[in-house]
Structures are given as structure tokens and as C-alpha cells.
Amino acid sequence: MKLNLALAQINTRLGNIDANLAKHLELIQEAQAREADLLIFPELSLTGYVLQDLATAVAHRPTADDPVFRPLLKASQDIDLVVGFVDEDRRNRFYIAAAYLSRGQVLHVHHKVYLPTYGLFDEGRFFAWGDGVQAFDTRFGRLGILICEDFWHASPPYLLWLDGAEMLLFASASPGRGLTAEPQLESARWVEHINRAYASLFTTFVVHANRVGFEDGLNFWGGSTAFDPNGELIVKAPYNEEALILAEIDLNQLHRTRARLPLLRDERTALVMREMRRILGE
């Protein structure tokens, strides 16, 4: 089975949902014209990243009667979408979230589990911590979504792998940092290394949509990628500029790679559980 994957490596307007939504709808049209099946937007693609006190003002609920999600759900009749937004739950907690939309339905919402609150980051001050990591079924197979810092930790991709995800969809708004003599920033090199590693270790597709542009002095470096279950690069967007990139994904590669390398088959989850209990002193 083939999947025409599209990554929307966009810049956003900080706190201006109308402008960002209009941009989403334009790119959805363009991706559709180029026959994409699934289009992935970066982290907080509808709002911008360093929201601080704007966080509560730009929150939406991913429902059919929401003015932002209504047109997106309509657009998802013809193309599956992953969009980034601030989710306000019924108890008025605010999450950094990504929603998977397909055929007019919200199939899955992921709340960012790891909120970096160190160095230049201050997410834990403004957002609630997500409390679940789950794969979900789509018309392209079982997928999993993580947001930026979620995949700086090894456990969320590991859990998605065990939960059956055949493709890990990572969405980021990664601020560039670590200028050295190398042609990429240290932050870019790190993310590329681990994404390739996850693809190899979990014999799964790993797709990363990162944003570009600036927010005050922060730059977002782009360089969105897709790796196949052998850890081979399928496609890569340019650094530091907007792009809509497409790649044909041959989902049968899972079968071939896992026939050669049965890491998933041999994973000893009972042993992991036993040792986790011991380590946690239970």
C-alpha cells in the first residue's frame, strides 16, 4: 500500500488564529492538488509557539461546532490532517495538542506529555501536562503522534511502538540553537540523529514536521524529514524556509524490514515490566 505523505513546514503568526487557519486551508488545497493523502502540520501550527499569556486566549476544542475546526474537519473529507493547537478541556486545562482529522472526524487528539520548562523553554508554566500516549487506527494503518519534547524522551516512542504504531508522526516547533562550525545547528543535528535512530530501533516510519520562521529572537529551523523502517531518509525539507514537501511512502516496507529484523517480535515486554516494577521499588 502506498501513502502520499505531505509535510507543511510553515511559519505562523503568533496568536493570530484567523491568519494561521487561512494558511492551513491554502496548504491543504495545494497538498490535495498534488494528490497528498495525509498532510502534517507542525506543533501549535494554528497559534504560534511562544504563546505565554496568549495561551488561554487562543485555545479551541476539536469539535464540529468549533469555528476553527469546522473548516478543517470539512477539508479532512478528502485528505487526512494533523494540526497543532491549544486544547482547552472541559475542566479548563490548556494543553499543547495535535489532532488527527479524517473524513470529517477527529480520530485522535494527543496532549503533549513532556513540557520543557528549562533553558529557553517555559511550557510547564502555561500548559497542563498530557497524561497518555496511545496509537490509533487510520485508513493508512496504525499511527502515533508525539509533540517535540515528547520524543526527546525514549519512552513515548517506545510505548507507541508497542501499541502497534507503524508510523510515528512527530510535530515540532523547535527553536534553533548551538551554532558551531557544522552546517547544521546542534538542535537540528540532535533531532535528526534520534529520528533516524527511532526508525532503525523500532523498524517503523518516523515522520517529523518542524516549523520555520522567527518569534522575537528565536529561529525555527525546519528541516522536516521522513525516515523509513530501515532508518533511511525518504525526504527532507530545506532548513529555515517554508516548504510543502511530498513523498510517496511504501507501507509494505514494514513487512520487508520486519521480516529481516524481527525486533518487535522479540521485544521482551514482560521482562521490561518486571524490571520497571523492581526499579520503581514496587
Which positions touch other proteins (CB under 8 A)? 13-16, 50, 52-54, 176, 179-185, 213-217, 219, 239-240
Indicate the residue among 47 and 76 with the shorter CB distance to other proteins.
47
CB of 88 to other proteins, least distance (A): 19
Of 248, 127, 281, 143, nearest in space to 204 by CA: 143
**Cα–chain center distance at 128:** 18
CB of 213 to other proteins, least distance (A): 7
CB of 52 to other proteins, least distance (A): 4
CB of 222 to other proteins, least distance (A): 11
181 to each of 113, 176, 186, 192, 223, how far by Cα in Å? 34, 15, 10, 18, 18
Distance separating alpha carbons of residues 223 and 185, to the nearest angstrom:
11
Indicate the residue among 120 and 272 with the shorter CB distance to other proteins.
120
CB of 239 to other proteins, least distance (A): 8
Indicate the residue among 217 and 281 with the shorter CB distance to other proteins.
217
Q: What is the DSSP string of 219-276?
A: EEEB--EEE-TTS-EEEEPPBSS-EEEEEEEETTHHHHHHHH--HHHH--HHHHHHHH
Indicate the residue among 156 and 175 with the shorter CB distance to other proteins.
175
Indicate the residue among 180 and 269 with the shorter CB distance to other proteins.
180
Distance separating alpha carbons of residues 191 and 207, to the nearest angstrom:
12
C-alpha cell at 112: 503533549
Amino acid letter for position 249: I
- Where helices occur in the chain by DSSP H, the ranges are 17-33, 69-75, 123-126, 155-162, 186-201, 253-260, 263-266, 269-279
